Amino acid sequence: MPEGRRIIIFLFFLSIGIIFIGKMFYLQMFDSTYEKAADNNAIRKIIQVPFRGEVYDRFGKLIVYNTPVYDLYITPRKAVVNDTNRFCALFGITKGRFDTLTKEAWAYSRVKPSLFLKHLSKEDFAKIQDVLVDYPGFSISTTAFRTYQSKALSNALGYVAEINTNSLSDQKDDYYRQGDYVGISGLEAFYEEALRGQRGVKYRMVNSNGVEKGEYRHGDLDVSSVAGQNLFTSVDIRLQEYADSLMMHKVGSVVAIEPSTGEILSMVSAPSYDPSLLAGRNFSKYYQILALDPLKPLINRPPSAYYRPGSTFKIVQALVGLQLGILTTGSVFTHAGAPVKCHVHNTSHNDLHNAIQWSCNPYFYHAFRKILYDNTQGDTFERPAQGLQRWSELVANFGFGRKLGVDLGNEKKGNLPNVEYYNKVYKGENTWKFSNIYSLSIGEGELVVSPLKMANFAAIIANKGWYIPPHLVKGVGDKKTIDTFYKTPVPVGIDAKHFNVVHEGMRDAVLHGTVGREGKIPDIVMCGKTGTSQNQKGKDHSVFIAFAPKDNPKIAIAVFVENAGFGGFAAAPIASLIIEKYLKGRVDRKDIETKFMNMSYLANVTYNRKIVKKDSLKR
Amino acid sequence: MSQESNQIGKLDWISVGLYALFVLLGWMSIYSAVYNPEAPLWIFDEAFYTSNAGRQLIWIGTSLVLIMLIFALDFRFFESFAVFIYAAFMLALIAVPFLGVTINGSHSWFKLGGVTIQPAEFAKTATALLLAKYLNDPQVNLTKWMNQWRSALIIALPMLLIIGSNETGSALVFASFIILLYREGLPGEYPGLLIALIVLFVSSLLLSPLTIFISLLVLASLFVIILPIYQRRLPQTYVRMAGAIAIVMSLSTLVDWVVNHVLKEHQRNRIKVLLDPSFDTRGLGYQVTQSKIAIGSGGFWGKGYLGGTQTKFDFVPEQSTDFIFCTIGEEFGFVGVMSVIVLFLFFLWRLLYLADQQRSRFARAYGFGVVGILFFHFLVNIGMTIGLMPIMGIPLPFFSYGGSSLWSFTILLFIFLKLDAHRSDMLSR
């Protein structure tokens, strides 16, 4: 019997052993929750966020940089402060505050660092840097705020803010985490990937108290951070500031382009805001205020605001007519028979030059009709449709009705009506005729453009038939790389010879035409064309496009001033001042400068109304 | 002299080899548990000897001295002095509440110079010796009630004293003497009853009274249907069954009452944690959860020696002592833990075999006592690291860090190996 009991006893042992092995097998082989839990337990990911790239102007002047701010952290168990009074004096806090902060830190954790003082300035940091070694348990962590050298250019630059929940869940490459900063608009958003650099990751093993215990897998998984790349913009920040000051108390846009390169020299959106308001700790407070402002200072108007081009568009009609051979420089039209009125001007020999100089509405009514009918008489429905098709294809080459591809995220297409468009509006083919669409001839009707498009158009005229897609950045990073897109000229399909009459007409418009006395620069040969953009709910917008000098142009410009009336009144003088400033480096016409800096058209501006009134255009 | 040299030759080298292997593996795991990858300590660093691994090395060294001492003594010493040894440790257990110091909330340690000793650890050996000595008397027959009662008294005295100093876990170890008694002729009903009670205890905690009642009814019906013997005298059977069910039900009610009113708060929580693994994983269930994470993350091959992250960075409390098995589980994986379990079972089998080879009842009984104690520690210690046993302060023999623990298991084992080496010298009765 006793021998058998040994077997019984051992069988009991064995069964326990088998149960244990079974449980181990389950824990170690099947249940992966424990494996994951272990990694979360012991491996800490430390993120190193590199500084964002800086932004420079076309002459290498720093526009945007980062200001490091320093947060002081305390690790209570290690913290030793022998001389509390000296410590408090150093950091500029009271004894009571010191006690409260220390107590809060103790309550959070004895061994994990917790925030002690937030956002110390560089000066404070310099002061404490050397003595910090005397206070074990205190450490500094660095973050950075965007800092701006200039208050101008804020709309084009855009701003940086904490990523929102939607973008966080929509992101493709899963790069951003909660609380990360990301470019929200403007260049900050467009060049986000270059500017942000690459976040670094360090894996460190930590013990149960969260204290670091060395590299995980000898740092094999670590990724070092890559600093953000600098942006070298084409903007002349001095010109930008000057243009900005001229646009004070106004709603509108200025876009100046170097015609030979497509580089944007200045891009003003008025009204604007101080960019430093949206950088730093008071972001949400100021964002709220700016977002609710009825004048919408946060919008970057130049690439996105919708206007009718007004009379500036007559140049397009002239060029298309010449290219098609339907117009010649000698084509003459009288005021008779046109449903559009004109101002008083010499019509004794109303040729193309004269019509551009005086912005003659009837001339372009007749010319447009001739373009659409192609010198023939025919069906009142079919002929204009055929003509419009050909016309719209040619006009589209100028960039109307499509995106130019500027390096900003919010560029709008605008609207260039074609046959398809009118068929939709009038619900069917052959339902509309010339009398329905003739306002296109003088740049009104369903045409919609942005200030950027008009500046580009000015550059096309200056270049006599081609443009390089306008862009704000001419180089990214130390190698100043740039997409070949921004290097490649785009022809618009109009022979260069056709531009001569346009140049002459625009020159005379400035000298003794629609541009008034205030738009003339005595010592610069500027060519310009005024425009008056109709809008149904308020006073006309003042529009002006120009380039200078006439030979070998250095600057092309478009100025839009909302509700300021006729183009020659507000937009032309402002454009002339900017051109003078750019070409001469100074402005001699001080009286005009002062007048327009102080001039306000805000009283005419109608709030909370869509700039474009056609319902069909509302998106 | 020739006798002296012979005794080394008769020493069971298989057991000694396994002992050495366990101690070595244990030390390696302790070294790993305290290993700091940023500042690894080497054996020659002075600071090394303030770490658990360094101190365990000292305990291992002194254990060798203890082994030599045991072998220097006459083998008859243990039988002759069993009563004195027992008495001495009972006195120590009585004295410890007055003269002892408190370590980790347990007031059960003596401080002798720089060394702290827990007499409860050694009381197991003393009890095994006295029990074996008592059973050595040929008059003693464990089927007799009187002898059963006296044996129980020998076991109960140290148990009660240890419970008195708040070491319930250590006291439960004495239950393992049921194996010794069973081997020495205690009727099988006793261990059977013990197991039945444990099953009842656990099921009354896990199941509702109604479930237990219905299961009992089903079980009883099955008995009646399957075993024709019960069908012959049905009325009596019904009465018996009803009585049995009534007893079981009242016992199960008693269990609830004991758990809720007799057990202390921390003991009740340990049981709760055992029954519900998701209970308070940050607080009361923290230890078991972390232990399971450590073992579970080991996978099949483990993370490699010194490669464990859970056990190294203090996630599992009591890493070097009671939860040393986690380190093996994390670093050597399923292969490692299975090897340890198989080797340990083989070790127990070897000792059982040796015990049955003894000519003297004293040596045999003592051998079964040793096996019982080792098994109980194995059962509870490994069981608690994987959430199958409630947490008690029970070390894993030979593996766990601690002077008292290593010394007492060394003494426990080597007294038996000494007796075994002399088995041909003993008188067979």
A386-411: average pLDDT: 92
Backbone angles phi, psi at A493, to 5 degrees: 85, 25
Q: Residues B61, B91: one domain?
A: yes
Q: Domain end: B218, B247, B262, which one?
A: B262
Give domain status of residue B286, yes or no: no
pLDDT attached to residue A211? 64
Please say whether the beta carbons of A78 and A137 come within 8 A. Answer: yes
Give domain status of residue B362, yes or no: yes
Question: Do residue B383 and residue A207 have CB atoms under 8 angstroms apart?
Answer: no
Question: Do residue B383 and residue A24 have CB atoms under 8 angstroms apart?
Answer: no
* Closest-approach residue (CA) in chain B for A21: B338
Which residues on chain B are in Cβ contact (under 8 Å) with A17?
A: 341-342, 344-345
Q: Is A27 on the interface with B (CB under 8 A)?
A: yes
Q: Residues B249, B397: one domain?
A: no
What count of residues does chain B have? 429
Any residues with CB less than 8 A from the CB of A388 and at least 6 apart, and which?
A372, A417, A418, A419, A422, A437
Give alpha helix (H) positions in B107-167: 119-136, 145-164
Cα atoms in the Cβ-side hemisphere of radius 13 Å centred on A442: 22
Q: Residues A306, A447: one domain?
A: yes
Which residues on chain A are in Cβ contact (under 8 Å) with B294?
A: 38
- Say what the alpha-carbon torsion angle A456, A460, A463, A469 is, to the nearest 10 degrees: 50
Q: Residues A401, A542: one domain?
A: yes
Question: Do residue B293 and residue A38 have CB atoms under 8 angstroms apart?
Answer: yes
Q: How confident is the model at residue B308 (pLDDT cuts 50, 70, 90)?
A: confident
Give domain status of residue B278, yes or no: no
Q: Residues A229, A243: one domain?
A: no
pLDDT attached to residue A586? 92
Q: Tell me the residue type at B376.
A: F
Give domain status of residue B288, yes or no: no
Q: Residues B148, B73: one domain?
A: yes
Q: Domain end: B216, B241, B262, which one?
A: B262
Per-residue pLDDT reduced to its tens digit, A435-486: 888 889 888 888 999 999 999 999 999 999 999 999 999 999 888 889 999 9
B17-29: average pLDDT: 94
Q: Which residue has the higher pLDDT, A369 or A169?
A: A369
pLDDT attached to residue A216? 67
Q: Rounded to an integer, what is the distance from CA A99 to the centroid of its chain?
A: 47
Question: Do residue A39 and residue B297 have CB atoms under 8 angstroms apart?
Answer: yes
Q: Residues A172, A192: one domain?
A: yes
Q: Is B375 on the interface with A (CB under 8 A)?
A: yes
Which residues on chain B are in Cβ contact (under 8 Å) with A9?
A: 179, 182-183, 352, 368, 371
Domain that holds residue A507: 237-271+302-617
CB atoms near residue A149 (< 10 Å): 16
Give domain status of residue B165, yes or no: yes
Q: Residues B19, B146: one domain?
A: yes
- Pairing relation of β-strands A231-233 and A55-56? parallel
Q: Residues B177, B312: one domain?
A: yes
Question: How many Å apart are CA B178 and CA B128, to the nearest integer?
Answer: 11
Q: Residues B337, B220: one domain?
A: no
Question: Do residue A28 and residue B309 have CB atoms under 8 angstroms apart?
Answer: no
Answer yes or no: is pLDDT of A68 > 50.
yes
Q: Residues B137, B64: one domain?
A: yes
* Closest-approach residue (CA) in chain B for A24: B334
Please say whether the beta carbons of A338 and A355 come within 8 A. Answer: no
Domain that holds residue B324: 2-187+293-421
Q: Between A5, A31, A42, which is nearest B309 by CB?
A: A42
A401 in helix, strand or coil? coil
Give domain status of residue A517, yes or no: yes
Give domain status of residue A296, yes or no: no
Q: Residues B175, B201: one domain?
A: no
Count of the separate structural domains present in chain A: 3
Give domain status of residue A24, yes or no: no
Answer yes or no: is pLDDT of A107 > 80.
no
Question: Do residue B36 and residue A25 have CB atoms under 8 angstroms apart?
Answer: no
Q: How confident is the model at residue B35 (pLDDT cuts 50, 70, 90)?
A: confident
Nearest to A33 by CA among B305, B314, B278, B324: B278
Which residues on chain A are in Cβ contact (under 8 Å) with B298?
A: 28
Smallest Cα distance from A188 to chain B, Å: 42
Per-residue pLDDT reduced to its tens digit, B181-220: 999 989 988 888 888 888 888 788 777 788 888 888 888 8
Give domain status of residue B385, yes or no: yes
pLDDT attached to residue B294? 81
Question: Do residue A28 and residue B38 have CB atoms under 8 angstroms apart?
Answer: no
Smallest Cα distance from B88 to chain A, Å: 31
Q: Rounded to an integer, what is the distance from CA B147 to the centroid of its chain?
A: 25
Give domain status of residue A19, yes or no: no
**What ipTM does the predicted assembly reach?**
0.88
Q: Domain end: A144, A172, A203, which one?
A: A144
- The residue of B34, B143, B297 whose CB has the most chain A CBs within 10 angstroms, and thus the best one to mutate to test that interface, is B297
Give domain status of residue A505, yes or no: yes
pLDDT attached to residue A36? 63
Q: Is B179 on the interface with A (CB under 8 A)?
A: yes
Q: Which residue(s) pair with A552 in the sheet?
A: none
Q: What string of DSSP letters covers B399-429?
A: TS--HHHHHHHHHHHHHHHHHHHTTTTSPP-
What is the CATH classification number for the domain harbouring A71? 3.90.1310.10
Per-residue pLDDT reduced to its tens digit, B330-362: 889 899 999 999 999 999 999 999 999 998 999
E strand spans, A327-413: none
Q: Residues B153, B219: one domain?
A: no
Q: Residues A242, A357: one domain?
A: yes
pLDDT attached to residue A393? 92
Give domain status of residue B426, yes or no: no
Question: How many Å apart are CA A590 and CA A425, to the nearest integer?
Answer: 50
* Secondary-structure percent of chain A, ordered helix, strand, coil, rounded to 5: 40, 20, 40
Q: Residues B183, B225: one domain?
A: no
Q: Enter the tokens of residue B277.
A: 């693994």
Give domain status of residue A286, yes or no: no
A323-331: average pLDDT: 90
Smallest Cα distance from B149 to chain A, Å: 21
Count of the separate structural domains present in chain B: 2
Give domain status of residue B274, yes or no: no
Q: Is B138 exposed, middle or buried (0-12, 13-18, 19+ CB in 10 A)?
A: exposed
B81-103: average pLDDT: 87
Kindly report the pTM of this predicted structure: 0.59
